[in-house]
Amino acid sequence: MSDKTSGLLGGRKSRLWALAALVVAGVMFVALRPETTKPEESAKPAAARPALTVGLTSPQTLDWPQVLAANGNIVAWQEAVIGPEIANYRITEIRVQVGDVVKKGQVLARIANDTVASELAEVRAAVAELEASAGEAKANAERARELREKGFYSSQLNTQYQTALHTAQARLAAGQARLQSAQLKLDKTGVLAPDDGVISARTAAVGSLTQSGQELFRLIRGGRLEWRAEVPSADLARVKPGAAAVLTAPGGETVTGVVRAVAPSIDPQTRNGLVYVDLPASPAIRAGMFARGEFELGRAPALTLPQTAIVLREGFATLFRLEGEDRVAQAKVTLGRRKGDRVEVVSGLQAGMRVVESGAGFLADGDAVKIAPDAKP
């Protein structure tokens, strides 16, 4: 009996302890639970976003040139290859370096002339001997003609003297030709500039032996450079000789040239044609440079805005126009030509529209704005 009583008392104590634990947990839950939001607080509206102060502008219609962009290389207008005119002689002197400006006929290099001078002296002596022989033959022929008239010489003998005179004169003429050739050869020991220009390359070296067809110097004739622009075949007919072309050098400088000629053929690989543009002398450009440029094809009106009014978002050009008195609406636009700090808007813009100029980058569609008093168009 006592065992049953102790078992009943033990089970009752366990249930009492469990009930006490549940009560304590409920009290803690109520104590830690956040206060319930009052209905009037939840009904309060969210704070309004403060309006951004912006400046406004209106589109301007300007007369802008129509341009065609192109790329190409800057090369020499004509490049002359200068080499020796006599072979197997040593170079004794170099008088110019790459980049030097030279005049037509200026000596660029000297070739050893002692052997050539000796040959010239020998030929000159031979000519003197032939002149003496020709003089003697002429005197004999004249004497034979006089004696024949007096009947002392036969016609045959007179003919022999005349033949001897002609032979001596022919030998003298050949000797004089050799003398002229030797003199010309001596003159060729000086390598001369064929035209005014700029030395663009030099391979000549003192002590080297000249060879036939050897290149000693390269000369940019007149120092003239040209831009050979590659233009798509579809646009090639729009470019005319005499049109202006504005190049942008790798250093950022601009150079203005004039179209000299348009190639009559198209490259079958690239489908581009070449346009040859004469360039003025400028330290900003060098032969071998790659340059970008634009051809001016005419003028046409353009509806323009400041570049600060255009915002690029998600790959599209957009602007914010003023709707009513204090709201802006976002609109996509298509851009065209650019000049200075202004850009042409081809579509999406109307004349007289009020557009946000300053602060557009911080706006979203439908934002409330505040117009700066001194920024109203």
pLDDT of residue 363: 86
3-state secondary structure of 295: strand
pLDDT of residue 304: 92
Between CA 211 and CA 112 the distance in angstroms is 14
Residues 147 and 192 in one domain: yes
> Among 31-40, 195-204, 309-318, 352-361, which stretch is predicted with the lowest mean pLDDT?
31-40
Place 156 in a pLDDT band, splitting at 50, 70 and 90.
confident
Contacts of 355 (CB under 8 A, 6+ apart): 56, 57, 58, 59, 305, 309, 319, 320, 321, 322, 349
Q: What is the mean pLDDT of residues 145-154?
A: 71
Which residue has better confidence, 137 or 91? Answer: 91
Distance of CA 117 to the CA centre of its chain: 49
Q: What is the DSSP letter of 148?
A: H
Place 39 in a pLDDT band, splitting at 50, 70 and 90.
very low
- Is residue 323 pLDDT above 50, yes or no? yes
- Domain housing 353: 53-66+301-375
Q: Any idea what the CATH number is for the domain that residue 279 is in?
A: 2.40.30.170
Which residue has better confidence, 7 or 345? Answer: 345
215 lies in a domain? no
Residues 271 and 317 in one domain: no
- Is residue 86 pLDDT above 80, yes or no? yes
pLDDT of residue 376: 47
Place 8 in a pLDDT band, splitting at 50, 70 and 90.
very low
Residues 284 and 309 in one domain: no
DSSP assignments along 153-212, one per residue = S-HHHHHHHHHHHHHHHHHHHHHHHHHHHHHHHHHTTEEE-SSSEEEEEE---TTPBP-T
Domain count, the chain: 4
Place 2 in a pLDDT band, splitting at 50, 70 and 90.
very low
Judge residue 36's burial from the number of C-beta atoms within 10 Å of its C-beta, 0-12 exposed, 13-18 middle, 19 or more buried.
Answer: exposed
Q: Any idea what the CATH number is for the domain that residue 341 is in?
A: 2.40.420.20
Domain closes at, from 197, 214, 248? 197
Residues 95 and 170 in one domain: yes
287 lies in a domain? yes
pLDDT of residue 129: 86
Distance of CA 302 to the CA centre of its chain: 28
Place 49 in a pLDDT band, splitting at 50, 70 and 90.
low
Residues 105 and 174 in one domain: yes
CB 101 within 8 A of CB 223: yes
Strand order through the sheet with 217-221 = 79-82, 217-221, 197-202, 101-102
pLDDT of residue 5: 43
